[in-house]
Amino acid sequence: MQVQVLGCSGGIGDGRHTTSFLIDDDILLDAGSGVSRLTRAALARIDHVFITHSHLDHILSLPLLLDSVAGEREGPLIVHAMPEVLEILKDHLFNWRIWPDFSRIPSQEEPFMRYAPIALGQTRHLPDSTGAIREITPIPAHHVVPACGFHLRGTEGSLLFSGDTNSHPALWALAGLIPDLLHLVVECSFANEQRELAHASRHYHTAELAADLAGLKAGPEVWITHLKPGAEASIMTELGGELAANGKLANALMEGQILHI
């Protein structure tokens, strides 16, 4: 399984794009502004979108993706998310007031988009073009709206993506239980000087993340995502100093980067 980083910033501007990952060539994990980097041909190949939560920086490209290529597809785009997240999309986005309801057009029987509720711990098994099975499983997150992260498993190993979150035990329990974990992609949105904002918005700040990473077993590479624009270097420098005391290392995730699992 190939995971390409389309966007991994906490904002936009100067080439930054918000969260989205392209899995092989047919699955999106979140649909932030990073999706806009794809060609129309690439957009038309996407059959599944997995959404962590309903905040705009993770869903803003979904309506335009559908509008751009829906008529060229042979079947509906499948949107996988927790039921609470799907309800928000139905009520506040695909509601005809913000955007057309693509789950009902051109008809309810043959729509451009179908919703696929998925529960925490429920694994989707999706074959790739060779028939190899890819596993995608929602994991808990702790955010201000219903949210999850995802555990991805390919033929070579696993990747754990925290989604938007602050500290919670389930993430680190899972990280310790996955024997083939190759990559941990975890957010850190704020430096310590903004810890009150981090707590209020339920995002990690550097000291909180460093404390959790201190207990992580050796093995996976740690990649930091969702850094706030303009503060990337200072957040990573501060986090690096916090981690060095425990012999840990983390690197900033980069747009265009490809991870293999």
Cβ pair 8, 226 in contact under 8 A: yes
The dihedrals phi and psi of 108, each to the nearest 5 degrees, come to -65, -30
How much of the chain exceeds pLDDT 70, in percent?
100
Mean pLDDT over 237-244 rounds to 95
pLDDT of residue 47: 98
pLDDT of residue 148: 98
Q: Indicate the residue type of 56.
A: L
Residue-level length of the chain = 261
DSSP string, 210-232: HHHHTTPPS-SEEEEE-BPTT-H
Q: DSSP code of 205?
A: B
| CA gap 186, 225 in Å, rounded | 6
Nearest CA to 159 out of 39, 260, 24, 17 is that of 260
37 Rama sector, left if φ>0, alpha if ψ -120 to 50, beta otherwise: alpha
Confidence tier at 245 by pLDDT (50, 70, 90):
confident
Right CATH for 2-260 from 1.10.357.10, 3.60.15.10, 3.30.1490.20, 2.60.120.40: 3.60.15.10
Whole-model pTM? 0.97
Q: Convert the pLDDT of each residue in 216-239 to its tens digit.
A: 987 899 999 999 999 999 999 999
Confidence tier at 162 by pLDDT (50, 70, 90):
very high
Cβ pair 258, 4 in contact under 8 A: yes
Mean pLDDT over 63-69 rounds to 96
Q: Convert the pLDDT of each residue in 141-156 to its tens digit.
A: 999 999 999 999 999 9
Alpha helices in 143-251 (DSSP H): 169-177, 195-201, 206-213, 232-244
Domain ranges of the chain: 2-260
Nearest CA to 84 out of 19, 20, 148, 160 is that of 148
pLDDT of residue 14: 97
Tokens of 235: 């957040």
pLDDT of residue 78: 98
pLDDT of residue 218: 78
Mean pLDDT over 94-100 rounds to 97
For β-strands 221-225 and 181-187, DSSP reports them as parallel
Q: Which of 21-25, 154-158, 213-217 has the lowest mean pLDDT?
A: 213-217
User: How large is the C-alpha radius of gyration of the chain?
Assistant: 18
